């Protein structure tokens, strides 16, 4: 299968983006990221969603946590009622969403949108003007979600 091109998308932030907390689905809440509790389950979700990446946990975590743009405060975690990781939005300390992943049981229930709004609010409260991300052009579902959240494609 041929690789698809990446599209860069941007959400222009307004003061309102930092005002109201996002609404998470019933049974899920956002919690502060604790590497010892959340890094491995988040990686497992990413590995299942993107088996083509093929990174071991140690490779992934070392590369991520040592990156100059990594900040644990921008690793947004959602847990279910049993403490399991239901989803994660991993952002850089610049306004950029590196990865977003939702556990299969929580897909199409608003969790991805809630995580994105959570990230938007975090960056808006810190005075950022926009948030960017890259998405595969063939990922129609993700592109639809990002459009519904007010993100627009940037020229190549």
In the sheet that holds 6-12, the strands lie side by side as: 28-31, 75-80, 85-91, 96-102, 130-136, 6-12, 152-153
Q: Which one-letter DSSP state was computed for residue 129?
A: S
Q: Side-chain half-sphere of 119: how many Cα atoms within 13 Å?
A: 35
pLDDT in tens, the chain (156 residues): 455 799 999 999 988 887 778 999 999 999 999 999 999 999 999 999 999 988 999 999 999 999 999 999 999 999 999 999 999 999 999 999 999 999 999 999 999 999 999 999 999 999 999 999 999 999 999 999 999 999 999 998
Task: State the Cα–Cα distance between residues 35 and 41, nearest whole angstrom.
Answer: 10
The CATH number of the structural domain formed by 6-153 is: 3.40.630.30
Length of the chain: 156
Q: Which one-letter DSSP state was computed for residue 53?
A: T
Which residue intervals of the chain are DSSP H helices? 35-49, 57-65, 111-125, 140-148
Q: Which residues have C-beta within 8 Å of that of residue 65, sequence separation ≥ 6?
A: 35
């Amino acid at each position: 299968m041929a690789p698809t091109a990446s599209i860069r998308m941007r959400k222009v932030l307004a003061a309102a983006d930092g005002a109201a907390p996002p609404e998470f689905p019933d049974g899920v809440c956002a919690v502060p990221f604790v590497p010892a509790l959340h890094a491995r389950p988040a990686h497992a979700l990413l590995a299942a969603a993107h088996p083509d990446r093929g990174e071991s946990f140690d490779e992934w975590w070392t590369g991520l946590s040592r990156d100059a743009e990594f900040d644990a405060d921008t690793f947004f975690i959602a847990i279910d009622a049993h403490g399991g990781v239901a989803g994660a939005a991993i952002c850089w300390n610049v306004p950029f969403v590196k990865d977003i992943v939702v556990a299969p049981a929580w897909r199409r229930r608003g969790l991805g949108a809630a995580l994105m709004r959570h990230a938007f609010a975090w960056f808006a409260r810190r005075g950022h003007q926009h948030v960017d991300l890259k998405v595969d052009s063939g990922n129609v579902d993700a592109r639809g979600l990002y459009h519904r959240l007010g993100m627009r494609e940037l020229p190549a």
